[in-house]
Amino acid sequence: MEYVAVLLPSLVVGLLFWFAMKAIFNADKAERQAEAKAQAEADARSAQAAPQNKSQPSTPPKSPQDRPQAFPPAGTSGSPDESDK
């Protein structure tokens, strides 16, 4: 009887861990299935919309030189402050 009393806590914790992992894997499986279904629906919508978009002329993407720059090139910030000397 001593063996059961010694091993029972470990078995209970092991079973709890097994049930928790099973629940996590089942939730992950369901999430992946839902994501695949949503992706398939999005692909179907885009495939239906693709022939409609082909009739409209497409504009070429802007070249990098035509885009506004977020930061000016280095060395063009103006005159140096007195503290930089």
CA distance 33 to 23: 15
Residue at 78 is within a domain? no
Give pTM, 2 decimals: 0.50
Residue at 4 is within a domain? no
pLDDT digits (tens, 9 = 90+) for 47-62: 888 776 555 556 665 6
* Residue where the block lists tokens 């999005």: 42
Residue at 34 is within a domain? yes
The pLDDT, as a whole number, for residue 27 is 97
Query: HSE of 9 in the Cβ direction (CA atoms, 13 Å)?
Result: 3
CA distance 70 to 64: 12
Residue at 37 is within a domain? yes
The pLDDT, as a whole number, for residue 49 is 85
The pLDDT, as a whole number, for residue 75 is 66
**Residues with pLDDT less than 70, the chain:** 52-85
Residue at 57 is within a domain? no
Assigned token pair, 76: 């063009």
